[in-house]
Structure 1
Amino acid sequence: MKFKNLLVVLITTMTLSACADWIFRIDIPQGNFLDEKEVKKLRIDMTKEQVEYVLGKPVLEDAFDHDTWYYIYKMKRGMKKRGEDFRKELTIEFVDNKIAKVSGDFELSEEFDIPLDQ
């Protein structure tokens, strides 16, 4: 009798573990989602207020250096068939309250080095 119960438990466990892909798991996005079009609007010498208007508030500001902003976006996929996990970053450095340098996973526009005032 014990062997029969153990066999039923074992078969049930194996059957349920095979159904693991049927369980729906949601994607978990975190951070600032940035569109390429928005990033291409950035120009050298833009003020912090202008950057905030275009991209929104940064996810992270350096506590010791208020002139560096970090925009980070991370997507953790719930199911592998929807794609791989990924992470994108954009770092903006300011000098005298104006953009001095932009680096990260996004391509800047060809007009980035032309200030808006011209």
Structure 2
Amino acid sequence: MRSFRIRVQPARASTLALLALAVTGLSGCNSLLSSDNSLLGFITPYRIEVVQGNVLTKEQVALVKPGQSRTQVRDILGSPLLTDTFHADRWDYVFTIRRQGTEPQQRQVVVRFDGDTLKSVEGADALPAERDFVASIDTEKPPRNPRSLAMTPEEIKALPVPAKTAPAASAPEGPVRAYPPLERT
């Protein structure tokens, strides 16, 4: 039986080892990204906040009543995001927000008119109240150790009593200066 030996030149061996190391390193980069596109779970790229349309809440839409004019509806809800020349009696209010640290939101309200008077409002049932909306986009975290600025009655009693001071003198202290008159008489 013959045995074969493969001779690899040292320069090629180091090149192959470097290539194998690079491929292994690059294949691991994908596994460093977590499901929320952050590196190692704590480094996230900056994402610009995108807000489009009108924020509509239940309180605003409750002010809109059938029979109101287009001007009154526009004063209450603002200008619609979409108006269509082929459907002049329909206004679309669309709101989308993509903010880092919160879930993306999208809402749509369709306002229909009969001539110049409001006929109906569709999609108002899915709108949040104003407090719920603010809470859904709030990304500020509460402090870990909140400190109270109010003192308990025990802490107030433990405070030292301030020393009494002498009453202030009625005459001002300091050098007396005489200034020449501003005008000559």
| TM, length-normalised to structure 2 | 0.48
- Structure 2, unpaired ranges of 5+: 1-13, 39-43, 128-185
Describe how 1:13-28 pairs up with structure 2 within 5 A. 14-15=28-29, 18-19=32-33, 20-21=37-38, 22-28=44-50
Provide the identity percentage.
Answer: 26
**Bigger Rg, which one:** 2
Summarize deviations over 1:49-72 as a string: whole Å, max 9, x none. Answer: 111111111011122121110101
Which residue type is aligned with residue 106 of structure 2? R
1:44 aligned partner? 66
2:51 aligned partner? 29
1:82 aligned partner? 102
Which residue type is aligned with residue 28 of structure 2? M
Which residue type is aligned with residue 18 of structure 1? L
Where does structure 1 differ by over 4 angstroms across 4 or more consecutive aligned residues? none
1:56 correspondence with 2:78: yes
Aligned mates of 2:70, 2:102 — CA distance in 1: 36
What is the RMSD of the two structures over their aligned residues, measured on CA atoms?
Answer: 2.6
Greater relative contact order (CA < 8 Å, ≥ 6 in sequence): 1
Query: Aligned residue pairs: how many?
Result: 105
- Structure 1, unpaired ranges of 5+: 109-118
Summarize deviations over 1:18-44 as a string: whole Å, max 9, x none. Answer: 154022323422222212221111111
| TM, length-normalised to structure 1 | 0.71
Give how far 1:8 is off.
3.6
